[in-house]
Structure 1
Amino acid sequence: MDNLFVKCSVCLNFVAKVVTLHNDESFVTKLRSVVPEVEWLDYYHICGGCKSDLDTAYEFRSRCIRLNLEQKREQYFECYHCNSRYGDKGVLVEHMKCHSVESLESPPKQFKCDDCNKSYTTQKILKVHLKKCKVRDPPTRKNRFSCEVCDLVLNYAKDVVEHCVEEHSMERKLVKPYTCTECPMRFSSSANLIQHRKYHEGSRNHICSFCGKGYITKSDLTVHEYIHFNRRNYKCEFCDKAFNTNKNLRSHMLVVHTDPTLWKYECDVCTRRFPLKSGFEQHMKRHTGDKKFGCHICDKTFVSRSELQKHVGSHSMVNPFKCTHCEKAYKEKRFFEIHLAKHHGIGNAKIPIRVKKFACHVCPNTFFDKHKLHRHLRVHSGDKPFGCQDCGKKFSDKYYLKQHAKNMHNSGQNEEIVSK
């Protein structure tokens, strides 16, 4: 490439002539105004074509701002007594002094809402009210509002709010008169209820432009796209971790830096506490036996999709996470990272401290895992469910059956569970 040609920092083309930003501060100002997402420095070079596009974009932006200012200047303030119009609010205030004191203290409310009978001083204020009033469901038999304390049914949401404040001494902002017809959830405003109903409809019309995933609401999509930007602007004040969203930071604070005795959700069956509602609901499904996710290879079912995906990997003989320092290989990344930290001192994975908390009620033996305790209990009960299909000999553990088949029958597959 000829040394006379210089690379443009925007279009990346090599051109004979470029403009350096520090030579003209107006270019820096324009770039930072048009594209504020980029931290423009003084050493960038811009070719003539990009400079022309920049001038066009900056002029269009400036034109839109001027138009917005002109529209604001065209706004006027109207006197509700004589309908006189003024371009400045201060001038209107001075004009109002010419009217009687009585009329200033109690301006006439001649514009009335047909739905809730409220009255307003101007047509403009009434229009603002009507937009909010239309959102509210009409007082039909189907859409009446109920008190969450005593189940009293009233025609309007505002009546429920007044009732809860006066009769139950509730804070006004904590009253939730709007109830979802699909589930028991309640809301303090109709806007929140409308947003909630979208989740029951399940229509994922908001598509991520990075990965193609669909989301029900625009706010959910916005939160998801922060993951792709990976800016991690939300930093934890107690440790060095940072997160893409404020929601993830709040979850981290609850899970890691909050005393477990203060966690909000408590199981009524085993008194175990949970910091997040999602973990609590998944835990309760274990007590109820609600396992909707079934394996397509075997008959096992699971509470969550993540548990199912983890189980499906157990059917595979592939261990993708291989240690380059020894011959160990793992199916899951978590166990692989623990191995690196424990045996090779690599990484900062937290090494779990194993405790033998499963004790045998017959002898003093204790075990790390529950299934090992159950396997041990067969020694005391004499139960031998694993039988050899060649000689009929029975064993209390599947491992002993494999060893027997290998040594006595020269087979590693000779195993069968004998049902009683």
Structure 2
Amino acid sequence: MRIYTCENQCGKSFRLSSHLKKHMSIHTGEKPQTCDSKEKLHSCSLCGKSFSRLHNLKEHQKIHTGVRDYMCFECEKTFMTATNLKRHQRIHTGEKPYMCSHCDKRFSQSERLKSHEMIHAGQKPYTCDQCGNSFRQKTQLQVHMSIHNGEKPYPCDQCKKSFAQSSKLKRHMNIHTGEKRHECNQCGKTFLWNSCLRSHLKAHSKEKPHSCSVCGKHFSQLQNLKVHQKIHTGVREYMCFECEKTFITFTELKQHQRIHTGEKPYKCSRCDERFNQSETLKRHEKIHTGEKPYTCDQCGKRFRHKDQLRLHLSVHSGEKTYHCSACGKSFTRLTYLNKHTKNIHSK
């Protein structure tokens, strides 16, 4: 039996020359001649959809019957049509027959090539009728529309929080799993998200190009400078609708709202205790690890937390920052002042 091979492009073989010719149009980009007639003689008795070919109607009807008679022999996954099976098999073979004429990037599906080519053309045919934002893909527009309609179809099965996008849910799930896949190649510190790693890397470069015009403080990121400047302006634009307390940043508002909701999304992987802030979880985890990274340069004593070291240093400095409003006596620690007030003045 004669075999017809796609020799110059991808080496794929066919039993019929007509199949090879049809296949070659993938590489050349040639569109086969189509009939001008738009008559669709074959209609589905279940949903009324019409087709110009009987074969296409039969393939469509499998949606209603659920028949999946095309099976992949690699993983035994089944499909309704031969086309879907072929497309799936490229996962196993690694075949990418669709090549971009602009950058030579290859794709396993023609739809993905078309979507990619819009990047080069700068084409964004899908426009939001609410705000005028344009998108390359229809799915991107659909995801964007959830911003306007408030729809959040992706719930977290751990804390019941919902998200408008599946990607946002995946990002959120890292909080519960504690998985930190993004590691700093300079100090080994790991992060839940790549964006946090990028921000952290600027600490190593020590580059702080953004300075505050009021106090001269420098920042590695413009966003951090903008947040800082609200300290000087006093702008507190984020308000809690439960208690009407206001906050400088949206992050502070979100943290505060957990007081009302009781949400504790940060779970300790050692003892399952939960916390409403990531910083509180980090402090807690040091109990399990025994880590004490803060050392007193006066006596060598070590502490788990920075504020514990600050408190301890007052022992060496003799500084007494806590004053009794009743008698004027001063103390190095707040606990000492509270004890004094209770024992002396509350009697």
* Structures share fold, TM-score greater than 0.5: no
TM range (shorter): 0.3 to 0.5
The structure whose Rg is larger is: 1
| TM-score normalised by structure 2 residue count | 0.45
